[in-house]
C-alpha cells in the first residue's frame, strides 16, 4: 500500500537523484503526549505514525534508511519544547509534534532556533496560522471548524440562542471565538460565554447556570475528558436541547464513557470513515487493525498522514539536509492522505474542509449521510404502509 502511495505522489514530480545521508540514516523526530491528560490524543497519533513509519521503512523504493526518535511530552508544553530540542540536537532533520495547540505554540520556538520543520498532526488553534515558516499542520484550523458549526447551527438546525462553555486555553478560546462570530453573523444570539480555568473538574455550577439561561443549545469547547464530563452533567440535569462541540470529542474513550447520553450530539471534524471502500483508506484501516487489533480513530489517521507527508517531503527534498526539507514541504500538492487530499497554503495550513458529524447508535456518522439514510428509511416505511393499506383494502 505504501509503495503505491509513493508511486501516485511521484507522478506529479520528476524523480530526483538523492544524496546518501552521512552516517547512513535519516532521523525523524516525534514528540507526542503518551502520558497525561492529552494522551487520549497522543497515543492514537503515535500509533498511526508508528504504522506509517514501519511501512515506509519496508518500502524498498524509499531512498533513505530512516530512524525515528520519539519523546513523550507528558501533556506538558514545556516538556514538549524540551523533547523537540532533544530530537533536533540528536540529528532529526524534521519532527512531528504539537498534538495540542498549547504544545505546538511552545515547540515553534525550538523549530525556529534550529530552522527545521515541525509538522503538527492535530493542533488547530487559529493563532497558529502563519506563526512560523517552519510550522505546518495536517489538521484544519479551528477557524474552519467554528465557521462550519456556526453556519450549521443557524442555517440547518434553525437555532436562535446558544450558551458557550469554553476552557481558558488556546484551543478553547480559538474555537469559541470563531463559532460565536459566525453564529451571530447569521442572526443568532449568544446568551452568555462561560469561560473556566483549564483542568476544571467540577462543572456542577456551570451546568446549573446553563439550565438557568435556558438556551436552545450549548456549544462546548475543550478537550476530550472535560467534554465528556460536561455532556454527562448536562444530560443528568435532563438538558434535552442541542449539544454542539468540536472534533476534540471524536475519541473512542469519550464516546464509550458518555454512552447513550452522547446520542444526537453534533460536532465538526475532518472526514474520515473506517468503513470507506476507498482502496487507500481501506488499506490503512486493515493494516491498523492487523497491528493494533482495533479501529483507527481520527487522531490515529492524522498521525499516519503526518508521518507519510514528512517522509514524502524528505524524499522530494533532493538531499538529506534540514535546509532542504522546507523545499520538499512546499512541493506537497494534491497528496493522497487517508484524511483527504493534503495541500498546504502559504501559511502552513492544510486545505481541508470539516464536515458535520452526529452521534448515532454510539458511533460518529456523517450528518448528510445520516439524513439521507433516514430519508431512505422513511420512504421504505411509507411504501410498506401503502402496500399494507392497499392489501387491506383489496381484502375488504
State pLDDT tens for residues 116-162.
Answer: 999 999 999 999 999 999 999 999 998 999 999 999 999 999 999 99
* pLDDT value, residue 375: 66
One domain, residues 70 and 219 = no
For residue 390, is it within any domain?
no
One domain, residues 265 and 278 = no
For residue 379, is it within any domain?
no
One domain, residues 300 and 231 = no
One domain, residues 215 and 284 = no
Which residues share a beta bridge with 26? 66
* pLDDT value, residue 27: 96
Q: Tell me: pLDDT of 21 over 70.
A: no
For residue 204, is it within any domain?
yes
One domain, residues 147 and 136 = no
Report the C-alpha gap between 292 and 221 in whole angstroms: 30
Q: Which has more confidence, 185 or 385?
A: 185
One domain, residues 67 and 83 = yes
For residue 388, is it within any domain?
no
Average pLDDT estimate for 312-339: 91
Classify 19 as helix, strand or coil. strand
Q: How many domains does the chain have?
A: 2
Average pLDDT estimate for 100-108: 97
* pLDDT value, residue 172: 94
| C-alpha closest to that of 153 among 218, 228, 69, 227 | 218
Which residues share a beta bridge with 366? 357
Q: Tell me: pLDDT of 19 over 60.
A: no
One domain, residues 184 and 311 = no
* pLDDT value, residue 384: 74
Q: What's the CATH number where 11 sits?
A: 3.40.50.2300
One domain, residues 296 and 237 = no
Average pLDDT estimate for 202-230: 96
DSSP state of 90: T
One domain, residues 155 and 252 = yes
Q: Tell me: pLDDT of 23 over 60.
A: no
Q: Tell me: pLDDT of 351 over 90.
A: no
Can you give the residue range of the structural domain that contains 331? 2-140+273-342
Tens of pLDDT, residues 229-239:
999 999 999 99
Q: 16-30, 253-267, 320-334 — which is least confidently predicted? A: 16-30
Distances (CA, A) of 32 to 26, 39, 92, 138: 20, 8, 15, 15
DSSP state of 331: T
Mean pLDDT, the chain, rounded, equals 90
* pLDDT value, residue 378: 66
C-alpha cell of residue 117: 520543520
Classify 37 as helix, strand or coil. coil
One domain, residues 130 and 152 = no
* pLDDT value, residue 166: 97
Report the C-alpha gap between 223 and 79 in whole angstroms: 19
Amino acid at each position: 500500500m505504501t509503495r503505491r502511495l509513493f508511486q501516485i505522489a511521484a507522478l506529479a514530480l520528476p524523480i530526483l537523484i538523492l544524496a546518501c545521508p552521512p552516517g547512513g540514516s535519516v532521523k525523524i523526530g516525534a514528540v507526542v503526549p503518551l502520558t497525561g491528560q492529552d494522551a487520549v490524543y497522543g497515543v492514537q497519533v503515535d500509533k498511526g505514525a508508528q504504522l506509517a513509519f514501519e511501512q515506509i521503512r519496508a518500502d524498498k523504493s524509499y531512498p533513505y534508511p530512516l530512524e525515528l526518535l520519539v519523546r513523550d511530552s507528558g501533556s506538558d508544553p514545556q516538556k514538549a519544547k524540551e523533547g523537540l530540542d532533544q530530537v533536533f540536537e540528536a540529528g532529526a532533520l524534521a519532527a512531528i509534534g504539537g498534538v495540542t495547540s498549547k504544545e505546538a505554540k511552545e515547540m515553534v520556538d525550538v523549530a525556529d532556533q534550529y530552522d527545521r520543520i515541525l509538522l503538527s498532526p492535530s493542533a488547530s488553534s487559529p493563532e497558529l496560522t502563519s506563526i512560523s515558516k517552519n510550522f505546518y499542520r495536517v489538521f484544519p484550523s479551528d477557524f474552519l471548524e467554528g465557521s462550519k458549526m456556526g453556519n450549521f447551527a443557524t442555517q440547518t438546525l434553525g437555532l436562535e440562542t446558544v450558551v458557550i462553555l469554553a476552557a481558558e486555553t488556546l484551543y478553547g478560546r480559538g474555537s469559541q471565538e470563531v463559532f460565536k462570530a459566525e453564529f451571530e453573523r447569521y442572526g443568532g444570539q449568544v446568551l452568555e460565554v462561560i469561560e473556566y480555568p483549564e483542568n476544571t473538574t467540577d462543572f456542577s455550577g456551570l451546568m446549573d447556570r446553563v439550565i438557568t439561561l435556558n438556551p436552545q443549545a450549548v456549544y462546548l469547547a475543550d478537550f476530550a475528558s472535560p467534554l465528556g464530563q460536561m455532556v454527562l452533567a448536562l444530560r443528568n440535569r435532563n438538558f434535552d436541547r442541542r449539544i454542539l462541540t468540536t472534533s476534540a470529542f471524536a475519541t473512542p474513550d469519550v464516546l464509550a464513557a458518555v454512552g447513550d447520553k452522547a446520542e444526537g450530539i453534533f460536532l465538526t471534524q475532518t472526514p474520515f470513515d473506517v468503513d470507506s471502500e476507498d482502496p487507500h483508506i481501506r488499506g490503512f484501516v486493515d493494516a491498523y487493525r492487523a497491528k493494533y487489533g482495533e479501529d483507527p480513530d481520527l487522531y490515529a489517521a492524522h498521525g499516519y498522514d503526518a508521518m507519510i507527508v514528512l517522509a514524502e517531503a524528505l524524499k522530494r527534498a533532493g538531499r538529506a539536509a534540514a535546509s532542504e526539507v522546507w523545499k520538499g514541504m512546499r512541493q506537497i500538492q494534491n497528496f493522497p492522505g487517508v484524511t483527504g487530499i493534503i495541500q498546504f497554503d502559504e501559511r502552513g495550513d492544510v486545505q481541508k474542509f470539516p464536515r458535520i458529524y452526529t452521534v448515532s447508535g454510539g458511533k460518529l456518522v456523517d450528518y448528510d449521510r445520516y439524513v439521507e439514510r433516514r430519508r431512505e428509511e422513511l420512504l421504505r416505511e411509507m411504501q410498506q404502509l401503502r402496500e399494507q393499506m392497499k392489501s387491506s383494502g383489496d381484502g375488504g
